[in-house]
């Protein structure tokens, strides 16, 4: 437990809610979830599932119809057999299943720093050692095959890539992902690719890592693109040689993922749902196109235009050498909530904060105006 760190953004959120309860109109740009509600088609299916009394345990790996639908979501050349698709209680559970079955005490996992904070804690939880590798804009804030080979040692067991990344929104290009997969394979480790933000990509194409081999663990979720954070539903595509391990772990750790959520998610891939989700994706893109230049204008450095997710990882060193102070001041004096850099790693954490543009355009404009006022006074 001594190695498990808090998720600091949750503390910011609590403080922001307290301030709101005291009558302050806080603009939330610290959120890690879409501001849109779950699409109606999915919600209605969830209601029907409850009415049809689909409230009991189901198969540990997920209901067959949903596993099939997930398998069909992948393009034909890399479509996995349904046996390799595992439904999980969110990708948080999926990531834990993967680390639980891969790691022995002392095994190292290479991850990008900055990266999604919970991963370090998951690795610790299963006795592993997370090794954050400093990543800069020149490599898209992502690990490269070269960096992986450089940092590999006899204890390295696995590499985790998140693409698009939280907090930077950067994407690993397909040719680099192929090089990474080959390198990890050559070195005798396992590659885990978190594709939870795959639906939310702008001006670029992403390709699932399933194209790069069926020995890769692919993690995904209904949370972000599908707008189902609170339903707690995700999935894994598991290499053949780990299906048995993952099955035993799923049975024991979770019994099964939420039953009504699974019936609801059967409609996540419907044409009507896709139309709504693509409209939302275009909305995120418009917000990004407004917000990133506006932040740069305010004096934040954003070296790379984020290509996906709904985050901007901004260098705030022009204002302070302590990003915690910037985050606190923005909240208390500009009434704008942001996530502090220390949530995403140790490398240059004091120079960065993370903004989320999962908020309405008028709120983003208001936040920019408030920050402009505050920064001109300091
Ligand atoms: C990169 C990444 N992976 C995984 C998760 C976990 O999401 P969930 O458990 O809702 O699928 C998140 C949530 O913010 C995330 O940003």
Domain contains 276: yes
174 and 132 belong to one structural domain: yes
Residue 233 burial (C-beta neighbours within 10 Å; 0-12, 13-18, 19+):
buried
Q: At what angle do helices 323-334 and 361-377 cross, to 10 degrees?
A: 110
Task: Please state, in angstroms and rounded to a whole number, the distance separating the CA atoms of residues 351 and 325.
Answer: 11
119 and 197 belong to one structural domain: yes
> Contact 281/199 with Cβ under 8 angstroms?
yes
Taking CA atoms, 243 is separated from 57, 84, 97, 100, 303, in Å, by 20, 7, 11, 13, 41
213 and 278 belong to one structural domain: no
**Chosen domain end from 269, 296, 328:** 269
**Chosen domain end from 208, 237, 269:** 269
250 and 356 belong to one structural domain: no
Domain contains 219: yes
What is the distance in A from the centroid of ligand 1 to the CA of 92?
A: 6
- Residue appearing with tokens 């939330």: 28
Model pLDDT, residue 5: 86
94 and 222 belong to one structural domain: yes
The CATH number that applies at residue 235 is 3.40.640.10
How many residues are there in the chain?
378
Domain contains 3: no
Pocket probe mutation, ligand 1, options 115, 116, 161, 222, max atoms within 8 Å of Cβ: 116
Closest atom of ligand 1 relative to the 33 alpha carbon: 14
Pocket probe mutation, ligand 1, options 96, 111, 223, max atoms within 8 Å of Cβ: 223
Domain contains 226: yes
Count of C-beta atoms within a 10 Å radius of residue 119:
23
The CATH number that applies at residue 282 is 3.90.1150.10
325 and 255 belong to one structural domain: no
Query: Cβ(257) to ligand 1 under 6 A?
Result: no
Mean pLDDT by 10 residues, the chain (378 residues): 87 89 95 96 98 98 98 96 98 98 98 96 97 97 98 98 98 97 98 98 94 98 98 98 98 97 98 98 98 98 98 96 93 95 93 97 98 90
129 and 187 belong to one structural domain: yes
**Chosen domain end from 216, 241, 269:** 269
Closest atom of ligand 1 relative to the 115 alpha carbon: 1
97 and 224 belong to one structural domain: yes
Q: Is the pTM for the entire model greater than 0.95?
A: yes
DSSP designation for 81: P
Model pLDDT, residue 284: 98
Closest atom of ligand 1 relative to the 221 alpha carbon: 11
- Residue appearing with tokens 């709904």: 310
Structural domain for 239, as ranges: 40-269
Task: Please state, in angstroms and rounded to a whole number, the distance separating the CA atoms of residues 214 and 225.
Answer: 24
247 and 293 belong to one structural domain: no
Model pLDDT, residue 219: 98
Number of domains in the chain: 2
278 and 244 belong to one structural domain: no
352 and 301 belong to one structural domain: yes
Domain contains 1: no
Query: Cβ(115) to ligand 1 under 6 A?
Result: no
249 and 137 belong to one structural domain: yes
Domain contains 81: yes
> Read out DSSP for 354-370?
EEE--S-HHHHHHHHHH
Domain contains 295: yes
Model pLDDT, residue 209: 98
What is the distance in A from the centroid of ligand 1 to the CA of 223?
A: 7
State the Cα torsion 268-68-71-57 to the nearest 10°: 70
What is the distance in A from the centroid of ligand 1 to the CA of 157?
A: 22
Domain contains 90: yes
């Amino acid at each position: 437990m001594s190695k498990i760190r808090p998720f600091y953004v949750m503390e910011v959120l609590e403080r922001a809610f307290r301030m709101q309860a005291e009558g302050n109109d806080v603009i939330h740009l610290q959120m890690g979830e879409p501001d849109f509600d779950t699409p109606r088609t999915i919600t209605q299916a969830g209601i029907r599932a409850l009415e049809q009394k689909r409230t009991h345990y189901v198969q540990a790996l997920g209901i067959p119809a949903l596993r099939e639908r997930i398998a069909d979501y992948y393009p034909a050349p890399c479509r996995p057999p349904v046996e390799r698709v595992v439904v999980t209680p969110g990708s948080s559970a999926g990531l834990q299943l993967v680390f639980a079955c891969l790691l022995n005490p002392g095994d190292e996992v290479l991850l990008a720093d900055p990266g999604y904070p919970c991963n370090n804690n998951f690795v610790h939880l299963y006795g592993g050692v997370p090794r954050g590798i400093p990543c800069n804009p020149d490599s898209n804030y992502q690990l490269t095959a070269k960096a992986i080979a450089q940092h590999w040692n006899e204890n390295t067991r696995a590499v985790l890539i998140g693409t698009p990344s939280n907090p930077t929104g950067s994407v690993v290009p397909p040719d680099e992902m192929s090089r990474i997969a080959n390198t990890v394979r050559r070195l005798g480790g396992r590659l885990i690719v978190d594709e939870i933000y795959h639906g939310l990509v702008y001006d670029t194409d992403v390709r699932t890592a399933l194209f790069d081999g069926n020995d890769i663990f692919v993690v995904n979720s209904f949370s972000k693109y599908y707008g189902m954070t609170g339903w707690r539903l995700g999935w894994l595509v598991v290499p053949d040689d780990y299906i048995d391990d993952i099955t035993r772990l799923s049975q024991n750790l979770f019994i099964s993922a939420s039953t009504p959520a699974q019936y609801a998610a059967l409609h996540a891939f419907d044409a009507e749902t896709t139309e709504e989700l693509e409209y939302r994706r275009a909305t995120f893109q418009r917000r990004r196109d407004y917000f990133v230049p506006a932040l740069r204008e305010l004096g934040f450095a954003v070296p790379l235009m984020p290509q996906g997710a709904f985050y901007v990882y901004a260098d705030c060193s022009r204002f302070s050498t302590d990003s915690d102070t910037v985050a606190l001041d923005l909240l208390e004096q500009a009434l704008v909530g942001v996530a502090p850099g220390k949530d995403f790693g140790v490398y240059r954490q004091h120079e960065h904060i993370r903004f989320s543009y999962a908020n309405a355009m008028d709120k983003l404009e208001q936040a920019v105006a408030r920050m402009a006022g505050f920064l001109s006074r300091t």
